[in-house]
Amino acid sequence: MNLKVRPYKRGGWEVDIVLMLPSGEQWRERVRSPAESRAASKRWGEERASYVLANWQEVTRPKEVVPTLAAFEQRFYL
Protein backbone atom coordinates (compact mmCIF):
# COMPACT_ATOMS: atom_id res chain seq x y z
CA MET A 1 0.00 0.00 0.00
CA ASN A 2 1.24 3.43 -0.92
CA LEU A 3 -0.46 6.42 0.72
CA LYS A 4 0.52 10.05 0.18
CA VAL A 5 -1.06 13.17 1.64
CA ARG A 6 -0.29 16.49 -0.03
CA PRO A 7 -1.79 19.98 -0.02
CA TYR A 8 -4.74 20.44 -2.39
CA LYS A 9 -4.71 23.35 -4.85
CA ARG A 10 -7.70 25.19 -3.38
CA GLY A 11 -7.08 24.43 0.27
CA GLY A 12 -7.42 21.21 2.22
CA TRP A 13 -5.57 17.96 1.58
CA GLU A 14 -5.36 15.48 -1.28
CA VAL A 15 -4.97 11.78 -0.54
CA ASP A 16 -3.28 9.56 -3.14
CA ILE A 17 -3.86 5.84 -2.54
CA VAL A 18 -2.17 3.11 -4.61
CA LEU A 19 -3.05 -0.52 -3.83
CA MET A 20 -2.28 -3.92 -5.28
CA LEU A 21 -5.57 -5.83 -5.30
CA PRO A 22 -5.81 -9.59 -4.67
CA SER A 23 -6.64 -10.03 -8.38
CA GLY A 24 -3.16 -8.72 -9.21
CA GLU A 25 -4.22 -5.41 -10.74
CA GLN A 26 -3.16 -2.03 -9.44
CA TRP A 27 -5.84 0.36 -8.11
CA ARG A 28 -5.29 4.10 -7.67
CA GLU A 29 -7.47 6.85 -6.27
CA ARG A 30 -6.62 10.52 -5.83
CA VAL A 31 -9.29 12.45 -3.95
CA ARG A 32 -9.68 15.55 -1.84
CA SER A 33 -9.94 14.51 1.76
CA PRO A 34 -13.09 15.40 3.72
CA ALA A 35 -10.90 15.93 6.82
CA GLU A 36 -9.43 19.29 7.80
CA SER A 37 -5.95 18.38 9.07
CA ARG A 38 -3.09 16.41 7.54
CA ALA A 39 -3.15 13.72 10.25
CA ALA A 40 -6.92 13.28 9.93
CA SER A 41 -6.56 13.06 6.15
CA LYS A 42 -3.95 10.32 6.55
CA ARG A 43 -6.27 8.37 8.88
CA TRP A 44 -9.12 8.81 6.40
CA GLY A 45 -6.89 7.50 3.59
CA GLU A 46 -5.89 4.45 5.63
CA GLU A 47 -9.55 3.70 6.38
CA ARG A 48 -10.44 4.11 2.69
CA ALA A 49 -7.62 1.76 1.68
CA SER A 50 -8.74 -0.91 4.15
CA TYR A 51 -12.34 -0.57 2.90
CA VAL A 52 -11.23 -0.99 -0.72
CA LEU A 53 -9.15 -4.07 0.12
CA ALA A 54 -12.07 -5.62 2.02
CA ASN A 55 -14.60 -4.85 -0.75
CA TRP A 56 -12.42 -4.74 -3.85
CA GLN A 57 -14.85 -6.67 -6.07
CA GLU A 58 -17.59 -4.10 -5.46
CA VAL A 59 -15.29 -1.08 -5.79
CA THR A 60 -13.61 -2.00 -9.08
CA ARG A 61 -15.69 -1.65 -12.21
CA PRO A 62 -15.31 -3.74 -15.34
CA LYS A 63 -13.56 -1.92 -18.15
CA GLU A 64 -15.74 -0.56 -20.94
CA VAL A 65 -15.64 -2.48 -24.19
CA VAL A 66 -14.92 -0.12 -27.07
CA PRO A 67 -16.64 -1.21 -30.29
CA THR A 68 -14.50 -2.02 -33.29
CA LEU A 69 -14.83 -0.08 -36.51
CA ALA A 70 -16.75 -2.95 -38.14
CA ALA A 71 -19.31 -3.07 -35.31
CA PHE A 72 -19.60 0.72 -35.41
CA GLU A 73 -20.21 0.67 -39.17
CA GLN A 74 -22.99 -1.93 -38.91
CA ARG A 75 -24.73 -0.03 -36.18
CA PHE A 76 -24.83 3.35 -37.93
CA TYR A 77 -25.28 2.40 -41.60
CA LEU A 78 -28.48 0.45 -41.01
* Model pLDDT, residue 78: 59
Q: Which residues pair with 26 in a beta bridge?
A: 20
Number of domains in the chain: 1
Local confidence pLDDT in tens for the 78 residues of the chain: 899 999 999 999 999 999 999 888 899 999 999 999 999 999 999 999 999 999 988 877 777 888 788 887 877 775
CA 3 – CA 28 distance, rounded (Å): 10
The 3-state secondary structure of 10-31 reads: CCCEEEEEEEECCCCCEEEEEE
- Looking at residue 11, what is its pLDDT? 93
Q: What is the CATH number of the domain that holds 24?
A: 3.30.160
CB atoms within 10 A of CB 11: 8
The pLDDT of residue 47 is 96
Provide the residue range defining the domain that includes 62: 2-77
What does pTM read for this prediction? Answer: 0.74
